[in-house]
Amino acid sequence: MQAIQLFSQGSPEVLELKEIAMPVLKHGEVLVQVDYAGINYADVYQRNGQNPASLPCIPGAEGAGTVVEGNGVLPSGTRVAWLSQPGSYAEYLAIPAWKLIALPEYLSTCNAAAAMLQAVTAQYLCETSYRAQAGDTALVHAGAGGVGLLLTQILKHKAARVISTVSTAEKARLSQAAGADHVVLYTETDFVSAVKDMTQQQGVHVVYDSVGLHTYLASMASLRPLGSLVLFGQSSGNVPPIDPMQLCRQGSLFLTRPTLAHHVADAGSLQYRGLRIFTWLREGILDLRINQIYPLEQAAQAHADLESRQTTGKLLLAVSA
């Protein structure tokens, strides 16, 4: 089968298309033919060395496709999606059956692959990490990004007020279309002052910060007393250690650094969160924006594009589709 492999960490060119042996199923695993694999920032961290990787490996944690060997656990032909299984940039994937969610008829494998990881992340961020409520004001960085657009839509569904930050006017338009009440171009405007002006100098209830190094201090300064900083990514670089007294001095702030894996660690949580986003997709609460679909062999280009800050919404690899 064809797969993208990583033999060393580095720039996007280290992603190589190879012809390799089909995976061998272990107990409890099924074989899936991958239609689409999702591109995520975590794949970039794994590739560029920001996160450790055991090499060689096949990157990619999410996708959707069809069961071709159910191993007595799932019928062949079942359309499925997943979001926490390494090895998804490949034509076939061996995956424990419990990590799969069967797709409802109304959801294509393309839309499922586009939604799984980023929409479930957005779901847990505003229903577990900080339970957003009507009347809350939330600050969402990278508001036109894959997670940012979905998070904004869920927060608006909960009747929260959303202030987003983006780097370009085109991204501002997209963020607004997703429901953001105010969009700050953080390349031109100091977002802390803008947030204070929009909140009668109070600050926001919660900041969802995936940018990390370049924003985390200003994110803390944007919070009201007892506000929550949900730091969930580091697109601009890793955040250094934070002195707990800083949280105290800035208003008894709450800080959390969640990761998706802990929120889908068992079949019950995975199915609950997956079905929740499927319902939101069916009801039109979530509207997906697929930026670009690349052929498998262009995985390196997809990574370069995501890192360039030029993309919006979701990037996918078309694998067997």
| Nearest alpha carbon to residue 6 among 72, 38, 74, 52 | 52
CB atoms within 10 A of CB 103: 20
**Binding to ligand NDP by residue 147, rule CB under 6 A?**
yes
* Two structure tokens written together for 119: 């929409």
- CA-to-CA distance for 209 and 199, rounded, in angstroms? 18
Residue 264 binds ligand NDP (CB under 6 A): no
* Residue reference for tokens 């969610």: 101
Least distance (Å) between residue 76 CB and ligand NDP: 31
Would you call 195 helix, strand, or coil by DSSP? Answer: helix
Which residue from 86, 105, 74 is spatially nearest to 34, judged by alpha carbons? Answer: 86
Candidates 56-64, 69-77, 89-97, 142-150 — which segment interacts with ligand NDP by CB under 6 A? 142-150
**Under rule CB under 6 A, residue 192 binds ligand NDP:** no
Is there binding between residue 280 and ligand NDP (CB under 6 A)? no
Q: Which of residues 67 and 288 has its CB atom nearest to ligand NDP in the complex?
A: 288
Binder to ligand NDP among 148, 179, 227, 274 (CB under 6 A)? Answer: 148
d(CA 126, CA 138): 10
**Given 65, 87, 145, 179, the residue binding ligand NDP (CB under 6 A):** 145
- Choosing from 14, 211, 302, 319, the residue that interacts with ligand NDP (CB under 6 A) is 211
Contact residue for ligand NDP among 121, 176, 222, 298 (CB under 6 A): 121
Catalogue the E-assigned strands of 173-262: 182-185, 204-209, 223-231, 254-256
Establish if 167 lies at the interface with ligand NDP (CB under 6 A): yes
Given phi > 0 = left and psi -120 to 50 = alpha, else beta, which region is 282? Answer: alpha
**Contacts to ligand NDP by CB under 6 A:** 40-42, 117-118, 121, 142, 144-148, 166-167, 171, 210-211, 214, 232-236, 258-260, 306-307, 309, 311
